[in-house]
Amino acid sequence: MTKDTIRVAMIVGDEREVLGQWERTDPYFGPAPAALIAGLAGLEELELHILCCTRHSLPAPEKIALNIFYHSIRVPRWGYLKTFYLPAILAIRRTLKSLRPEAVHGQGTEREYALAAAYSGFPSAVTIHGNMRAIARHFRARPLSFHWLTARLETIALRKATGVICNSAYTEEQVRPLARKTWRVPNALASEFFQPPTAERSTEPVLLNVGHLAVHKNQLELLELASRLHERGLRFRLDFIGGIHAKSDYGRRFLAALAPAERAGWARHLGVLSRAELITHLDSAHALVHVATEESFGLAVAEALARNLRLFAFRTGGIADIAAKLDDTTLITPLDWQALATSLESWLRAGHPPAINTAQTMHQRYSQATIAAAHMEIYRELSRAV
């Protein structure tokens, strides 16, 4: 490290803790934070300290890169939402007091990350991954439910933080009334999405929907639309990728509707895939159909375009940013199912023409190096506020 090195603390979730994967030995992070961390690795001008709260004793390496240190902070089970994350925030503050960073970066408002950064006592930036206030409104969250409480804690964090990093124009619009300052920086994509193809396109048209099953992602409605197209004699396969909470009402209804389509061979659910498996399926498919009605960024959309898929999507959240100035994208008013059906039918009857090369544009916009450089500018700005 040099005398000009900036010391930054990043508060983020270790996915072993978030997903309960206690058997895993190495820390790992969500797709967007992981891609950013990979972009920041090896930068001589940065000393990065990753802080993760855990309820269990997990293996904690001193470093995960030459310039990136890892800190696991034990917080009891009762130290999270039930106590408004106060024990976690205090434990993080104690670690930060010894580290003396020039800036603190909280990755997301879903748990303690943003609050701990905002109340760290140091210049702070908060990244919005999901607009929890918008999600609470969308779900009509009941008082004292997870989404209701998280939306209110998000409001507190946004007002307290030095600034908010917004991954889209939509997110910036959502937070601007509360934030002291905003920066617009999109999520980075993992470098694997810019590697050469791993599979050939299928001979039959294959449509993908990527994302965990959820009411606001409208997979059941998409399946019903696809069924009508199939009944008109159109030939294609629709693959759903992502987890399903099978005991939920929406999950049960989706699986019941999917069963006859799976037996007929024109739709299937592939479950949760590894990144390598996802990329292989993207490479063999022809189009992504994305019909979420609440979307802060749209990582699945950017990943699909990085693999040169045709895009059919509702014009929601950050998807308009991602698709800007790209020819082979069709953006539709949210919940206009007739317009979506018409667009898909026209494309299928025209022989499902492939998309032009969108990968180069995606790399220019969302490579790890590009997004890491933008974050370094924010860290330098925060360091001058010390």
- The residue assigned the tokens 């409001």 is 155
Q: How far apart, in whole angstroms, are the C-alpha atoms of residue 182 and residue 171?
A: 10
CA 142/CA 136 separation, integer angstroms? 9
Q: How far apart, in whole angstroms, are the C-alpha atoms of residue 71 and residue 101? A: 14
How much is the pLDDT for 138? 85
- Tell me, what's the pLDDT at 316? 94
pLDDT of residue 296: 92
CB atoms within 10 A of CB 207: 26
Q: Give pLDDT, residue 161.
A: 98
CA distance 52 to 67: 17
CA geometry: angle 259, 265, 266, nearest 5 deg: 90
Q: How far apart are CA 191 and CA 121, in angstroms?
A: 34
Task: Give 105-131 pLDDT, tens digit per residue.
Answer: 999 999 999 999 999 999 999 999 999
E strand or H helix that includes residue 342: helix 337-349
Q: What is the pLDDT of residues 246-280, one digit of tens each?
A: 889 999 999 999 999 999 999 999 999 999 999 99
Q: Which of 110, 83, 109 is nearest to 179 (CA)?
A: 109
Closest residue by Cα to residue 299 from 214, 197, 188 = 188
Identify the DSSP state of 384: T
- The full 3-state SS of 80-93, as one line of letters, equals CHHHCCHHHHHHHH
CA distance 32 to 45: 22
Upper half-sphere CA count for residue 19 (Cβ side, 13 Å): 11
In the sheet with 182-184, reading across from the earlier edge strand, the strands are 63-65, 68-74, 46-54, 6-11, 103-107, 124-127, 163-166, 182-184
Q: What is the pLDDT of residue 347?
A: 97
Phi and psi at 208, nearest 5°, equal -115, 145
Query: Do 219 and 209 touch, CB atoms closer than 8 A?
Result: yes
- Delimiting residues of CATH 3.40.50.2000 domain(s) in the chain: 6-188+367-383, 191-365
Per-residue pLDDT of the chain (386 residues; tens, 9 = 90+): 556 899 999 999 999 999 889 889 999 999 999 999 999 999 999 999 999 999 988 999 999 999 999 999 999 999 999 999 999 999 999 999 999 999 999 999 999 999 999 999 999 999 999 999 999 998 899 999 999 999 999 999 999 999 999 999 999 999 999 999 999 999 999 999 999 999 999 999 999 999 999 999 999 999 999 999 999 999 999 999 999 998 899 999 999 999 999 999 999 999 999 999 999 999 999 999 999 999 999 999 999 999 999 999 999 999 999 999 998 899 999 999 999 999 999 999 999 998 888 999 999 999 999 999 999 999 999 999 86
Q: CATH class for domain 6-188+367-383?
A: alpha beta
**CA gap 200, 228 in Å, rounded:** 28
Looking at residue 385, what is its pLDDT? 81
Is-contact 311 305, C-beta < 8 A? yes
Q: What are phi and psi of 55, to 5 degrees?
A: -90, -15
Distance from C-alpha of 49 to C-alpha of 281, rounded to nearest angstrom: 35
User: What's the confidence (pLDDT) of residue 73?
Assistant: 96
Task: Strand 206-210: give its sheet, edge to edge.
Answer: 267-271, 237-241, 206-210, 287-290, 310-314, 329-332
- Name 55's bridge partners: none
CATH 3.40.50.2000, applies to 191-365: yes
**Alpha carbon 293 to chain centroid distance?**
15
Q: Where are the alpha helices (DSSP H) in 208-292?
A: 219-231, 249-264, 275-284
β-strand partners of 241: 210, 271
What are the backbone dihedrals phi and psi of residue 192, each rounded to the nearest 5 degrees, phi first? -60, -25
Question: For residue 54, which of 18, 9, 101 has the smallest C-alpha distance?
Answer: 18
Q: What is the DSSP string of 292-303?
A: -S--SS-HHHHH
Provide the pLDDT for residue 3. 63
